[in-house]
Amino acid sequence: MTDDATAVLASLREEMTESANALLPGLDPGRAYAAGGLHACALKALAALDVVLERHRPVQLYGRVEDYRGNIVCGQDADAGDWDQHFEGDDDGIWYCKSRPTVTVCSSCSDEGDADLRAAWPCPTYAGIARELTGRGAGSGN
Ligand SMILES: [Zn+2]
Ligand SMILES: [Zn+2]
């Protein structure tokens, strides 16, 4: 999935700076001061959004390598060199397989519990910010 919100933020920053660079040289000192202040305010607001977006990132989850009996269920063969797709989740002895992607969750909202629907990506926080930045309403088909 492309990250719409981050892409829009980057282009907004660029656009604002280009506009300020085009505008400021021709303005008298009073107006240049005001325009510079607006530019600084806008950049601060975007930086605040960055902080929120850094916390709400998509995280891909994977299925387990073994079932609860210890049988290999990912369909891979330890002797076939597939084993490098396996990683331990949390130093807890549970291993996951990258050949078995399951769901994508939010890095922040998923802390509230695996079964919580708010954990699904995109989470409401990211979706709301992306909707405002891109001008695309949820379910509006635009
Ligand atoms: Zn595997
Ligand atoms: Zn979230």
101 CA to middle of ligand 1, Å? 11
Distance 5 CA to ligand 2 centre (A): 13
Of 64 and 113, the structure prediction assigns the larger pLDDT to 64
Q: In whole angstroms, how far apart are CA 110 and each of 57, 107, 121, 129, 130?
A: 10, 6, 9, 18, 19
Average predicted confidence (pLDDT) for the chain: 84
Rounded Cα distance, 130 and 53, in Å: 10
The Å distance, Cα 102 to ligand 1 centre, comes to: 13
Contact 4, 134 (CB under 8 A): yes
Cα Rg of the chain (Å, integer) = 23
Rounded to the nearest angstrom, the distance between the alpha carbon of 90 and the centre of ligand 1 is 17
Report residue 142's pLDDT band, with 50, 70 and 90 as the boundaries: very low
Q: Per residue in 21-66, pLDDT tens? A: 898 888 999 999 999 999 999 999 999 999 999 999 999 989 999 8
